[in-house]
Structure 1
Amino acid sequence: MEFLDIPIFSDDFFKMMFRLFINLTFLTIIIRFIYYPFSKRKDFVFTYYLISLIVFFLCFALKKFEMDLGMALGLFAIFGILRYRTDAISQKEVTYLFVVIGISVINSLANKKMSYAEILGFNTIIVLVLVLIERYWSLKQEESKSIIYENIENIKPENYAILKSDLESRTGLIINRITIGEVNFLRDTAKVTIFYFNGNQEISN
């Protein structure tokens, strides 16, 4: 049955829903249970889900048309280099963006030459590699914050322990090291930079 020369229903609907289920299952594992516990970035959780869903449906729809491998790879590259102009994205966020786009493309464009066992295998291997890297091979990343410190007596070398303890109590961070920058004796302030490892610490913006 057709309406305006377009079929009302197609058997491909069931294929789309089943592949969408597979896609959402592995996306949830990657985004919610691997990425989010380490990054605590809720905004990227929203972004990754929406981008991956759009890519999945777009690729599945384009699959209905005759599209050679070059065009498919070109489309994948366009989405792969997607960047936001408002905020800078770290390399880790860009990598996860590449992962969710790649998984969505694989799950949507797979044809009869690829079995469901292979599709599940691809997704499972990606998840296992992410878990392995995040939980066991991930190196601690040192980050820094610049702070205007008003108690310049504590910036003396002999008061380093006092300075470190004071800054840790104020920032709530476990500080690795501290560097002293510009000192303003008129205002009794100094610009200090604290360095800490970005682990499971809650960082206030």
Structure 2
Amino acid sequence: MTPALLYGIDLVAVAILTFAIYFPRHRRRDLVVAYLGVNVGVLAVSAVLASSSVAAGLGLGLFGVLSIIRLRSDELSQREVAYYFAALALGLLGGLGEAVGWLSIAGSALVLVVMAVADHPRLLSRHHSQTVVLDRAVTEHDALTATLEQLLGGTVHTATVQRLDLADDTTLVDVRYELPRRSRRTRSDGDAPAGRTAVGPRPGTVAEPVAAR
């Protein structure tokens, strides 16, 4: 299999990854540029390494160091990190895949299939995580769980208190929760999920989610 064919397959694969899978789902233009740039850069350098006397291990180690520096320079979600390394893997398979031939193409196809399925909006769509600030200091775990379930309208699986401020009367908590299957049903303000006791913020206070992942 000729290198030119592998390069073309890589470009098609990264275009599918970026424009058919990532961008329609997440709409972040700056990462489109990053994924394309990483892929083409890795493809070019790995192709040079494959055709020279420089050890490929040295080049792969260099890519690892550079990728860590890049990822630490900006806050990325774990999902975006996965796309980042998928683009990098496609570039490596295209640049160093001449010796393995069809195995390189199969690896590229596998990367695309896994990313398309694992990041599908319907996969585990009822499971969410949020960082929530409660305008009250809640020290009891059961009361905290009940308050969060009333606020978020789902079943709380884990609630990790990140900061409990007794002076300012606030609680910062990281929540992992699951929405019910009929989550579109509207509840009245005083209703709690079935089987739970409504324990809300005291009058005049506010409980608000500040970040979602």
Tell me the TM-score normalized by structure 2: 0.57
Greater CA drift, 98-107 or 68-77: 68-77
Partner Cα distance (1:27, 1:61) in 2: 19
Q: 1:39 aligns with which of 21, 26, 47?
A: 26
Q: Return the offset for 1:74.
A: 1.3
Partner Cα distance (2:42, 2:109) in 1: 20
Q: Return the offset for 1:132.
A: 1.7
Partner of 2:113: 128
Partner of 1:73: 60
Partner Cα distance (1:95, 1:41) in 2: 15
- Please tell me whether residue 15 in structure 1 is matched to residue 3 in structure 2: yes
Q: Return the offset for 1:196.
A: 8.5
Q: 1:109 aligns with which of 82, 96, 107?
A: 96
CA contact (8 A) 2:49 2:56 kept: no
Q: Helix, strand or coil for the counterpart of 1:60?
A: helix
- Residues 89-124 of structure 1 show CA distances to partners (whole Å, capped at 9, x for unaligned) of 12221121111111101110123x312x22221111
Q: Helix, strand or coil for the counterpart of 1:88?
A: coil
Partner Cα distance (2:63, 2:133) in 1: 39
Q: Return the offset for 1:78.
A: 2.2
CA contact (8 A) 1:143 1:195 kept: yes
- Structure 1 residues 82 and 19, CA gap change in structure 2 (3 angstroms): farther
Partner Cα distance (1:63, 1:90) in 2: 32
Give unmatched runs, 5+ long, in structure 1.
1-13, 149-163, 165-174, 184-188, 199-205
Partner of 1:203: none
Amino-acid identity (%): 19
- Residues 120-162 of structure 1 show CA distances to partners (whole Å, capped at 9, x for unaligned) of 21111111111221225345433357699xxxxxxxxxxxxxx
RMSD: 3.4
Question: 1:90 is aligned with what amino acid?
Answer: S
Partner Cα distance (1:30, 1:138) in 2: 21
Question: 1:52 is aligned with what amino acid?
Answer: N
Partner of 1:202: none
Partner Cα distance (2:64, 2:51) in 1: 20
Partner of 2:128: 141
Q: Helix, strand or coil for the counterpart of 1:66?
A: coil
- Structure 1 residues 146 and 45, CA gap change in structure 2 (3 angstroms): farther
- Residues 24-62 of structure 1 show CA distances to partners (whole Å, capped at 9, x for unaligned) of 111111112212222221111111111111111111123
- Please tell me whether residue 60 in structure 1 is matched to residue 75 in structure 2: no
Partner of 1:192: 207
Partner of 2:164: none
- Structure 1 residues 143 and 56, CA gap change in structure 2 (3 angstroms): same
Higher Cα Rg, which structure: 1
4+ long deviations beyond 4 Å:
144-148, 195-198
Give unmatched runs, 5+ long, in structure 2.
136-150, 155-167, 171-203
Tell me the TM-score normalized by structure 1: 0.59
Q: Helix, strand or coil for the counterpart of 1:193?
A: strand
Q: Return the offset for 1:20.
A: 2.5
